[in-house]
């Protein structure tokens, strides 16, 4: 079975896929920075002749499916396959697999960073320094004093859980990240 990958994948992840596919063609959209629209996608499918496709941005439409009928499935590296005409895939009996919450870890880390930045006034403090309002030896009082107070106000606690969340809610959080926010 031949797989065409049009999404960015690490070498490690591509190697994992090698045990499932006889041949893998890796041509991510990131090489050119451009997605394939109908005609380009159809040309790529006809050229490579894959049995399966993993995409992220490429347009998969009725025209693409009608022009290339060998796909056994499409993997879409998105939570919602906005780039794929799912109804056309149903009519063509081509299952579409999606990846909901694939960036959940990154979103959680970004949110936590933004919360701490907000609670500690990091952005106003940087502006304060840029405007020359700070000089050596002067404490950055604008940043606040008590991170435990910040933790309580933002929902972070000593246990690494947010108040009101069930035990184990944060179990998928990277341990290095958890220890970074431990109070």
CATH pick for 2-97 out of 1.20.1250.20, 3.90.1580.10, 3.40.50.720, 3.40.50.2300? 3.40.50.720
- Are 56 and 7 within 8 A, CB to CB? yes
SS3 84: strand
From 6-20, 49-63, 136-150, the region with the lowest mean pLDDT: 136-150
Which pLDDT tens digit goes with each residue over 38-57? 999 999 999 999 999 999 99
Going by C-alpha positions, the residue among 139, 137, 157 that lies closest to residue 147 is 157
Residue ranges of the domains in the chain? Answer: 2-97, 104-181
pLDDT at 173: 46
Q: What tens digit of pLDDT does each residue of 74-118 get?
A: 999 988 899 999 999 999 999 999 988 777 888 888 998 898 888
CA atoms of 168 and 178, how far apart (whole Å): 13
Q: pTM for the complete prediction?
A: 0.62
Angle, in degrees to the nearest 10, between helices 104-119 and 147-154: 130
**Separation of alpha carbons 73 and 47, rounded Å:** 18
Confidence of residue 3 (pLDDT cuts 50, 70, 90): very high
Mean of all residue pLDDT scores within the chain: 81
């Amino acid at each position: 079975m031949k797989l065409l990958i049009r999404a960015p994948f690490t070498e490690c992840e591509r190697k994992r896929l090698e045990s499932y596919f006889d041949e893998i063609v890796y041509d991510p959209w990131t090489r050119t920075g451009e997605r394939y629209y109908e005609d380009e996608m159809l040309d790529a499918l006809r050229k490579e002749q894959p049995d399966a496709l993993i995409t992220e941005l490429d347009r998969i439409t009725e025209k693409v499916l009608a022009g290339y009928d060998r796909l056994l499935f499409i993997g879409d590296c998105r939570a919602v396959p906005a780039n794929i005409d799912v109804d056309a895939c149903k009519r063509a009996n081509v299952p579409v697999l999606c990846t909901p919450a694939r960036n959940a870890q990154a979103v959680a880390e970004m949110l936590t960073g933004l919360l701490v930045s907000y609670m500690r006034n990091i952005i106003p403090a940087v502006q304060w320094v840029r405007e020359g309002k700070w000089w050596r030896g002067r404490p950055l009082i604008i940043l606040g004093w008590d991170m435990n107070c910040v933790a309580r106000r933002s929902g972070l606690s000593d246990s690494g859980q947010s108040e009101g969340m069930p035990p184990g809610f944060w179990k998928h959080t990277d341990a290095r990240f958890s220890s970074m926010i431990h109070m």
